[in-house]
Structure 1
Amino acid sequence: MRQGGLVDPFPSARGRLTDGAMGQPASDWEQRYRRNVIISDTLATFVVVASIGQFFGARDAANWHEKWGILAFGTELLVLGALTLSRSWAPAVLGQGAEEFRRLGRSLFTVVVVLALGGIALTSRNIKLWIFVAIPMIGIVTMTERYLLRLWLHRQRKVGQCLRPVLAAGSPDTVRDLINRTRKFPHLGWRVEAVCTVDGRGLDGDQLDGVPVVGQLADAAGHVRRDGYRVVAVTPDPYWSPDRLQKLAWNLEGSDAEMVVAPVLMEVAGPRLHVDAVLGIPLLRVSMPAFTGARRVIKGVMDRVGAAILLVMLMPLLVLVGLLVVVDSRGGMVYRQRRVGKNGREFIILKFRTMSAGAHAARAQLADRDEGAGLLFKVRGDPRVTRVGAVLRRYSIDEVPQLFNVLTGSMSLVGPRPPLPEESAAYGPDIRRRLLVKPGLTGLWQISGRSDLPWDEAVRLDLRYVEDWSLALDAVILWKTFRAVIHGQGAY
């Protein structure tokens, strides 16, 4: 089936998504999507290794281990084997989150190690090209094709297709929160189709935010087996004792349902969560946030190197924009403003000037038009913004000079939004945790709506970054920032 000139990889994903009976294989669209990923990875690897063998091959090599055909075939097998062993094709990680790309990167790193050891053992002179050219090229191509497949999948989910049917079991308030989140973020692939509560009733009688309440919590496993839900989402409720959770897990055995339990914790996720067995008791261990150490050193080096590279690449744009700012209105090219950074230290942030002279003094006159959330001051259609400034703000070009702040170490490429001194002075103890790390040129707030976000949501995203920071999360945020800037959502 073709849509818009492209081949639809999910032609059977229209209509009801469940399989009708538990114990059956995953939905057709899940199998088809996984098959597309496997085929794409295999073809991408084959094309890369075949191209290198064709253009750089040593056809007259004297020894068998120098022959490029054998090296190409061996590299192909190593890559596919590593992807299989690392479960990079597991349906649970395909199509969402950073774990899919993390497993892909781990697999390719394993191949590099094996090739390097093999090259040493066989004293191969040609192994370097495979390690430093072939594997990086395979990584670039496979990550690109997986990202394109993911974009297609997310587009399907936005129109209500390729979603996993979910039975939510918990208190009405926590289930309602889950329903709202799944509707707000359909790309995650969940759709709550039924609810179980302790008394079999919802906040709206036999419904909860338009989702039918099908029974009590004790009946959850029976409904899953009968109606074919793919996910059982257990949300907090006093009913869920350890014995009852274990019994629910036993009753779901042999079915195709995935049981997901929401722990009663602060928003901690990613690499800080570990499940350990201590004295036969399963414990969820939460490690401390990483504010120092080797990973922070790596982040600092990457910040400065990345900022330097971007400044060199964008220098012509910086010069052009600076001239347009000066020509468009009276005033300087760069606007300097005092902000609060890591551990409460103040620094001067650099931005292209986007407002007319005397804009700060005129702020009081616009107090009744303030649309900013919480402590932020924002006015849609602000009359102080110049013509050039409106364009710069829409596409966040006014923030490019902050790369100099990153280069000098007062900011990071990714981090919480840098607050004004008067904002930070009004912070409570919880919100002040934003100041435990360097502020960022971009962050979770940047890719989630920017000025359109409610204050509580903006704070939650910043705190989530502080708690769950990782190099992989930084990479995902930087990747998504480009799309957010192009769309200009929440920028004014």
Structure 2
Amino acid sequence: MSSIEFAPETPAFGTHELAVRVLDVVWIVVCARIASLLRFDELSPQAVDTALVTFAAAFTLVVFPVFGIYQSWRGRSILRLVAQVIFAWVAVQLCVLVLLFGLHRTDSISRLWFVTWSGLTALSLISTRVVVRSVLSHARNAGLNLRHVAIVGCGSHCEDIVRNIRRSPSTGFRALAAFDARPSHSVSRARVPTFDNFEGFVGFVRRNGVREIWLALPLSEEQTILRFVNEFRDDFVNVRFIPDVRSLALFDSGVTDMLGMPAISLVGSPLPAHALMKKEIFDRIFAALALLALLPILVAVAIAVKLSSPGPVFFTQKRKGADGRVFNIYKFRSMRLHTEQAGELKQATRGDPRITRVGALLRRTSLDELPQFYNVLRGDMSVVGPRPHALEHDELYRKIVSGYLQRYRIKPGITGWAQVNGHRGETDRVEKMERRVEHDLYYLRHWSFALDMRIVAATVLHGLVNRNAY
């Protein structure tokens, strides 16, 4: 565990949540009027804009709960919350535009007003939550609005949880006690009062009004889990199970619902469905904008490739996509036409005579990869993800590099964590591929929208020219 983080709780619809929803609607209306004042020098929007704002407010009340915006975010990343709000608001605006397009009302909307209103509203929705989060963080650091936690565990897993609680005081969690389920695996280093007597621990929890008990236990401790669940079944205590599955699970996966039953994925996609949806929306929008913005460059490169040597402009090759699905990847051709022996593939090497002069420039600057935005637009690839390799390399490395095929649990990317850390180009030694796979698996375990943005920024600023690309 790198940080204290739980899936959002779903509290009963109460005064707090109602106030937040009302405030969101107020911001939508207020920002619409401010945008109208900036665009038309009047506070009252035109009739069609009023309809659009009304639709947006209605869709917000429906779409935001789907993205978990109104659930408890205690102990969760502020960057993830901001990303959730942005994606939810974009989804609302898309719904509104689709509806207005169906009503043939889009022509009468001022584009400048719409952009201004969308931006102001997004900024207001985010700012409100950041301010509230900051106020709550300061209050929790000062000892207010706390949730006291008692931990039941054994060994390093329990110690890690206590350590993470101490490192994150702004979450409002405070560890008061620990119960050592296996006295031979001492948790005394957790620096909290530690019990090995069940009755003594239970009495401490009730005397001190602890409202959170975290069971940080391996799956083999079923009897211990049942004992604590049964003991506190009739108390107003939240009993949470934080299973120690590090020896079993390939990725840190949360609990999912399978036919109404909770299930923990030990081997499967490392990204939950809502994360994949956000990634998909970003990919399609980014790819479409990139293709439009880069169109002059794409045309110029295509002409240069055509003039450099006989042959097609584009090079296509079979690659594995998400869950092993095969697709055709597109690149600008950088080599002279040649034939490969069946079942063999020779990687480009430094000074490779097959590479044209134009191709060498394209490979060094990564311009040969630009057609892959078309793959992203088609849904074959993602903007950020593990780089796909030729099928022949997949068959070779799957047998000798641990975890190699797990890279294909999500869509491959144009750029990735391995690439921005210098692991690109020829893999003439197994060690090079092992380091690349290590970085890819790190990306899968630690994925966040913020990490994707960091990789995109690093690619644009530092990754276009690379000495390992030839």
- Are 1:48 and 2:17 counterparts? no
Q: 1:262 aligns with which of 239, 243, 251?
A: 243
Q: What residue ranges of structure 1 are gaps of 5+ in the alignment?
A: 1-25, 27-32, 319-337, 351-358, 362-397, 466-472
Query: Is the Cα–Cα contact under 8 Å of residues 40 and 142 in structure 1 kept in the other structure?
Result: no
1:415 Cα deviation from its structure 2 partner: 0.7
Amino acid at match of 1:234: L
Amino acid at match of 1:478: D
Q: 2:403 aligns with which of 430, 439, 444?
A: 430
Q: Within 1, Cα distance between the matches of 2:212 and 2:297?
A: 47
For residues 435-471 of structure 1, the C-alpha deviation after alignment (integer angstroms, 9 at most, x for no partner) is 4555434446689x888x9989635424548xxxxxx
The 3 A distance-change label for structure 1 pair 191 and 416 is: farther
Q: Within 2, Cα distance between the matches of 1:408 and 1:418?
A: 15
The 3 A distance-change label for structure 1 pair 288 and 49 is: same
- Are 1:440 and 2:424 counterparts? no
Q: Within 1, Cα distance between the matches of 2:287 and 2:48?
A: 42
Q: Within 1, Cα distance between the matches of 2:401 and 2:257?
A: 30
Query: Is the Cα–Cα contact under 8 Å of residues 86 and 122 in structure 2 kept in the other structure?
Result: no
Which residue of structure 2 lines up, in the alignment, with residue 325 of structure 1? Answer: none
- Are 1:404 and 2:364 counterparts? no
Which residue of structure 2 lines up, in the alignment, with residue 284 of structure 1? Answer: 263
Which residue of structure 1 lines up, in the alignment, with residue 72 of structure 2? Answer: 91
Which stretch shifts more, 52-61 or 172-181?
52-61
Q: 1:416 aligns with which of 368, 374, 386?
A: 386
The 3 A distance-change label for structure 1 pair 482 and 187 is: farther
Q: 2:127 aligns with which of 130, 134, 145?
A: 145
Q: Within 2, Cα distance between the matches of 1:202 and 1:290?
A: 30
Amino acid at match of 1:415: G
For residues 112-133 of structure 1, the C-alpha deviation after alignment (integer angstroms, 9 at most, x for no partner) is 7589879989x98999569965
Q: Within 2, Cα distance between the matches of 1:154 and 1:450?
A: 40
Which residue of structure 2 lines up, in the alignment, with residue 395 of structure 1? Answer: none
1:197 Cα deviation from its structure 2 partner: 1.7
- Are 1:478 and 2:456 counterparts? no
1:235 Cα deviation from its structure 2 partner: 1.9
Query: Helix, strand or coil for the counterpart of 2:192?
Result: strand
Amino acid at match of 2:263: L
For residues 55-95 of structure 1, the C-alpha deviation after alignment (integer angstroms, 9 at most, x for no partner) is 5679899xx99497x75985686477558866623333665
The 3 A distance-change label for structure 1 pair 65 and 314 is: closer
Which residue of structure 2 lines up, in the alignment, with residue 386 of structure 1? Answer: none
Query: Helix, strand or coil for the counterpart of 1:212?
Result: coil
Amino acid at match of 1:269: S
Query: Is the Cα–Cα contact under 8 Å of residues 64 and 70 in structure 2 kept in the other structure?
Result: yes
Which residue of structure 1 lines up, in the alignment, with residue 192 of structure 2? Answer: 212
Q: Within 2, Cα distance between the matches of 1:456 and 1:165?
A: 40
Q: 2:154 aligns with which of 160, 165, 171?
A: 171
Query: Is the Cα–Cα contact under 8 Å of residues 414 and 477 in structure 1 kept in the other structure?
Result: no
For residues 295-325 of structure 1, the C-alpha deviation after alignment (integer angstroms, 9 at most, x for no partner) is 798787556435435646999xx9xxxxxxx
1:234 Cα deviation from its structure 2 partner: 1.9
Which residue of structure 2 lines up, in the alignment, with residue 392 of structure 1? Answer: none
Query: Helix, strand or coil for the counterpart of 2:370?
Result: helix
Query: Is the Cα–Cα contact under 8 Å of residues 56 and 93 in structure 2 kept in the other structure?
Result: no
1:481 Cα deviation from its structure 2 partner: 3.3
Query: Is the Cα–Cα contact under 8 Å of residues 231 and 260 in structure 1 kept in the other structure?
Result: no
Q: How much is the aligned-residue C-alpha RMSD, in angstroms?
A: 6.6
The 3 A distance-change label for structure 1 pair 101 and 41 is: farther
The 3 A distance-change label for structure 1 pair 71 and 189 is: same
Amino acid at match of 2:158: V
Q: Within 1, Cα distance between the matches of 2:227 and 2:437?
A: 34
For residues 220-266 of structure 1, the C-alpha deviation after alignment (integer angstroms, 9 at most, x for no partner) is 65544444666533222333446335325525x434x5735337462
Q: 1:246 aligns with which of 221, 229, 251?
A: 229
Query: Is the Cα–Cα contact under 8 Å of residues 172 and 202 in structure 1 kept in the other structure?
Result: yes
How high is the TM-score relative to the length of structure 1? 0.50
Q: Within 1, Cα distance between the matches of 2:414 and 2:22?
A: 38
Query: Is the Cα–Cα contact under 8 Å of residues 411 and 441 in structure 1 kept in the other structure?
Result: yes
Q: Within 2, Cα distance between the matches of 1:160 and 1:418?
A: 49
- Which residues in structure 2 correspond to 1:154-193 (within 5 Å)? 166-179=149-162
Which residue of structure 2 lines up, in the alignment, with residue 273 of structure 1? Answer: 256
The 3 A distance-change label for structure 1 pair 65 and 306 is: closer
Q: Within 2, Cα distance between the matches of 1:201 and 1:187?
A: 33
Q: Within 2, Cα distance between the matches of 1:487 and 1:88?
A: 33
For residues 169-221 of structure 1, the C-alpha deviation after alignment (integer angstroms, 9 at most, x for no partner) is 22213223445666788897766564322156753xx622x432522484665
How high is the TM-score relative to the length of structure 2? 0.51
- Which residues in structure 2 correspond to 1:323-472 (within 5 Å)? 342=321, 401=367, 403-404=369-370, 406-407=372-373, 409=375, 412-416=382-386, 424=397, 427-428=400-401, 430-435=403-408, 439-443=412-416, 458=439, 460-464=441-445
Q: Within 2, Cα distance between the matches of 1:419 and 1:181?
A: 38
1:42 Cα deviation from its structure 2 partner: 6.4
Identity %: 13
The 3 A distance-change label for structure 1 pair 308 and 136 is: same
The 3 A distance-change label for structure 1 pair 185 and 443 is: farther
Q: Within 2, Cα distance between the matches of 1:156 and 1:450?
A: 40
